[in-house]
Chain A
């Protein structure tokens, strides 16, 4: 008789292998986030650490928010049913000691570990989990990340206090990995029934190693260690209470204030070191932690229905060949990071590099355009039948990335116009379908991010493409419990997307944080968010 959780773990092992390889490649620098705990001192020389964050978390409920800043803090307060090894991609027990999915991926059985309590003293039971998922699903798009992890949720069947089953009306391939994130972190019954607005401003009661002490919007968040914590996942370096008593997160929006404050010792850790400032922190007094965001890298996402220029496959192929991702990385990316090389980032489970197909070749790009009838005009811009080879890219961040690409494309006679708008303009354009290309990244833990961006059936409607082969692969991978078969499809999807010019990758966005050299135990989780349970200061 096999333990169901072990069966699942075995099934997930190949993901681990792929992820480990990709991570090895990704960790050429700054990968020192995870430190070997073997003989280390597991006490902190200081009780309070100051962690400067770059923006107001706006809503501190980890279940509702999509802001990385807020998710990073929420992670410390709530535990999840399962945890995921950031290096191997393996799912391991956390609040649930055992878990298994049916072959159709429509029902997931869990067994809770004993003795877990929330910080208000209430015990973790199957009913609490049911209350969590029911309330979260009812929130709908107000909790936009959670609603994607819980897509098709019907109900949770409670067997007894520690056994329950989560049911879906359709296969849900992202649920188990989603269950490892803070978005599906479990809150106490009192929080599950509180109003969404109240949870945003006063926070939630979790079973995690820290509790919310205060949140002053636009000013700071303070969390304090909880006494009697005893259920970290096996991925953590120690057991028992968190190693520091208090972590303060002042909201320091100005980049120069954060980097200057780290240098002067005002802050112990800072979020988002600007890439250009990274060199300042490479001395022995400081350390940098970096990890590529998981999901789809920043790149050009086409709308074939809006522009006949973009609809020409020869044009999209030429854009792929004429852009130099190494140069884009060197000029605008984090030092030591990977150049984008697929429709997934190198840190995402199931990533397969398409670097060969994407190798920069300006001559081939020009030749392809000539063959398709795009002739160089007198102004250096190609044209065909009186139609200029020009299109507009709509984006709301990373203008520098687009400017480098614009410069590169100009060399082969492609005129790329950049329309930098605000988030409202960007999502408004998606809503009305009024764009030639979008330039954006999509951060998700699971390779199913591909479906969110490229499937024509997805609600998000980012890429408007005509690729039936890809569509069926994307849909099929989302129904498979057999990880090996699924990852083969994910690899196939990445190959198709690049082959058909459905996407032009530009840059992998890297989470780059800085700390004084006294800080230890700072770790990224599988979604490039932060774990502070083991964090401590040496004297």
Chain B
């Protein structure tokens, strides 16, 4: 019993180990790259951040600036700052924003839920709509109908969010008065931003998902199933969906990165508080600690999601599981021997 247990733990480690290493690497690389970029930008980050609060009375006296630089920990060598900030971030301390004087951790904690609700809603809407359209296309008997349905989602990528967002606001907020146009005070306020964001996100998901479904439609097992008289809806949900899910889940993981960028546009168009606008404001104010903090948090979220995606492959497709892979190989060998 024991050696078997041991080898199972080892197998699990061999499966998870590289993925964990990748996880840590992505976060370290994100931290290092942002740090370098922020320090390579021309101009003085201290003055840029101070001017947010200082306006036309921003201090410019070199002595005074030297004193302030020491106060915000911007006076050491680049290497010192890199190590100190990195260690602090490991402890969960993201520092203080120079521009606002607020704790960066608090700022992100405040903005994150606003963004998360829009992003999740957008994903749900995008994924649901693309699945529905793909299903219709799958069961459609006429090819012109199928082709027309398949042409709808690419529109979502073609129309930029700042345009579709404004159209939605004009119609549903100013025209019909059904939904709030902007801000995050009203509980209904995430709807329009989420719909706006769902268009490109859903379209990208659709491209991958529908391609996988249609590829399956042409494969031999579907042909066999149809020949055996399995109805199209049953075929779709029982057989094709599971096979098409694998590439789609991969693209979902990658879409998290897209969502982080997309929310910046949507949050600006809808004047919403959130991670995207926080980042835009921080970049404009050259507020290094905030940019660094946001990038770290987004990198962690991105890595966690992709780790989960990696692990979920095993659940969806037994061939990918280490144990499953062995079993598949055994079955394959057996089949070869039998033949």
Evaluate contact between A218 and B169: CB separation under 8 angstroms: no
The answer to whether A66 touches B182 (Cβ under 8 A) is no
**Is the C-beta of A500 less than 8 angstroms from some C-beta in chain B?**
no
A218 nearest CB neighbor, chain B only = B273
Q: Judging by beta carbons under 8 Å apart, are B185 and A58 in contact?
A: no
Give the contacting residue for A461; candidates B43, B48, B60, B273; CB below 8 A: B60
Contact of A308 with B by CB under 8 A: no
Inter-subunit contact A252/B183 (CB<8 Å) = yes
Of the candidates B62, B166, B181, B285, which one forms a contact with A431 in the assembled complex, judged by CB atoms under 8 Å apart?
Answer: B62
**Stretch binding the partner chain, chosen from B210-218, B230-238, B264-272:** B264-272
Q: Which of A254, A263, A428, A431 contacts B61 (CB 8 A)?
A: A431
Q: For chain B residues 275-318, which have a beta carbon within 8 Å of chain A?
A: 277-278, 281, 284-286
> B156-177 vs A: 1/0 string, CB under 8 Å?
0000000000100110011001
Say how far A441's CB is from chain B's closest CB, in angstroms.
Answer: 7
Contact of A257 among B44, B111, B177, B270 (CB under 8 A): B270
Q: Are A58 and B99 in contact (CB under 8 A)?
A: yes
In the assembled complex, the CB of B141 is this many whole angstroms from the nearest CB of chain A, namely 45
Count how many pairs of residues, one from A and one from B, have CB atoms less than 8 Å apart in the complex.
151
In the complex, how many residues of chain A place their beta carbon closer than 8 angstroms to a beta carbon of chain B?
Answer: 50
Residues from chain A with Cβ under 8 Å of B62 in the complex = 431
Query: Please, which residues of chain A bring their CB within 8 A of the CB of B74?
Result: none
Contacts of B61 in A (CB 8 A): 431, 459, 461
| Contact (A264, B174) CB under 8 Å given A217-B110, A422-B286, A423-B48 | yes
Q: Which A residues, 421 to 441, have Cβ-Cβ distances below 8 Å to chain B?
A: 421-428, 430-431, 440-441
Contacts of B166 in A (CB 8 A): 256
Q: State which residues 39-60 of B face A: CB under 8 Å.
A: 42-60
B182–A67 contact, CB under 8 A? Answer: no
Instruction: Give per-residue flags for A126-160: 1 if the beta carbon is below 8 A from chain B beta carbons, else 0.
Output: 00000000000000010011001000000000000
Interface residues of B in 101-158 (CB under 8 A from A): 101-102, 107, 110-111
| Size range of the chain B interface in the assembly | 35 or more
Q: Which of A260, A423, A430, A441 contacts B52 (CB 8 A)?
A: A423
Contact A253 B174 (CB under 8 A): no
Q: Are A263 and B59 CB-contacts (below 8 A) given A422-B43, A422-B286?
A: no
**Interface contact A261-B181, CB-CB below 8 Å:** yes
Cβ contacts under 8 Å, A263 to chain B: 174
Q: State whether A426 touches B51 (Cβ < 8 A).
A: yes
In contact, A144 and B181 (Cβ under 8 angstroms): no
How close is A210's CB to chain B, nearest CB, in angstroms? Answer: 19
Shortest CB distance B35–A (Å):
18
- A376: interface (CB < 8 Å): no
A257-B48 in contact given A145-B57, A430-B60 (Cβ < 8 Å):
no
A440 to B286, CA, bound (A): 21
Nearest-neighbor residue (CB-CB) of B68 within chain A? A141
Smallest beta-carbon distance A144→chain B, Å:
4
Complex: how many Å from CA A223 to CA B146?
A: 57
Closest to B42 in A: A425
Residue B180 lies at the interface, judged by CB distance under 8 Å to chain A: yes
Checking A144, A257, A421, A422 against B57 with a beta-carbon cut-off of 8 angstroms, the contacting residue is A144
Contact between B43 and A425, CB atoms less than 8 A apart: yes
- The residue that A428 contacts in the complex, of B43, B54, B64, B185, with Cβ under 8 A, is B43
In the complex, A30 Cα to B282 Cα: how many Å?
36
- Is A442 located at the chain interface by the 8 A CB criterion? yes
Nearest-CB distance from B268 to chain A (Å)? 6
- Assess whether A181 is interfacial by the CB under 8 Å rule: no
Closest to B46 in A: A424
| Cβ–Cβ < 8 Å partners of A201 in chain B | 101-102
Q: How far is the CA of A425 from the CA of B58 in the complex (A)?
A: 12
Are B48 and A424 in contact (CB-based, < 8 A)?
yes
A349 interface residue (CB < 8 Å to B):
no
Given A264-B181, A266-B181, the answer on whether A427 and B60 have CB atoms closer than 8 Å is yes
Q: Which of A145, A216, A252, A423 contacts B51 (CB 8 A)?
A: A423
Contacts of B45 in A (CB 8 A): 424
A200 x B57 contact (CB < 8 A): no
Quick one: closest B residue to A257, CB to CB?
B182
**Which residues of the other chain, B, contact A443 by a CB distance below 8 angstroms?**
55-56
Is B243 close to A, CB under 8 A?
no
Q: In the complex the two chains form, is A441's CB within 8 Å of B51's CB?
A: no
A218 with B111, Cβ < 8 A, contacts A196-B101, A266-B181, A424-B44 known:
yes
Q: Is A197 close to B, CB under 8 A?
A: yes
Contact A260 B43 (CB under 8 A): no
A59 at the interface (CB under 8 A from B): yes
Q: Is there a chain B Cβ closer than 8 Å to A65's Cβ?
A: yes
A141 contacts B59, C-beta separation under 8 Å: yes
Given contacts A59-B100, A218-B273, A431-B61, A260 and B173 within 8 Å (CB-CB): yes
Residues of B with C-beta under 8 A to A254: 182, 268-271
**Are the C-beta atoms of A251 and B51 separated by less than 8 Å?**
no
Taking the nearest CB of chain A, how far is it from the CB of B119, in angstroms?
17
C-beta contact mask, A195-208 vs B, less than 8 Å → 1, else 0? Answer: 01100110000000
**Does B226 sit within 8 A of A, measured CB to CB?**
no
Q: Whose C-beta in chain B lies nearest to the C-beta of A64?
A: B53
Supply 20 A–B pairs (Cβ within 8 Å), ascending by A.
A58-B52, A64-B53, A66-B53, A66-B56, A148-B57, A200-B100, A217-B100, A218-B111, A218-B273, A219-B184, A254-B271, A257-B182, A260-B170, A422-B43, A422-B48, A424-B43, A425-B48, A427-B50, A428-B48, A431-B62
Interface of A toward B, CB cutoff 8 Å? 56, 58-59, 64-67, 141, 144-145, 148, 196-197, 200-201, 216-220, 248, 250-254, 256-257, 260-261, 263-264, 266, 421-428, 430-431, 440-443, 459-461
| Top 9 A-B residue pairs of the complex, sorted by shortest distance between their CB atoms | A424-B48, A423-B51, A144-B57, A66-B55, A218-B273, A257-B182, A431-B60, A252-B271, A250-B183
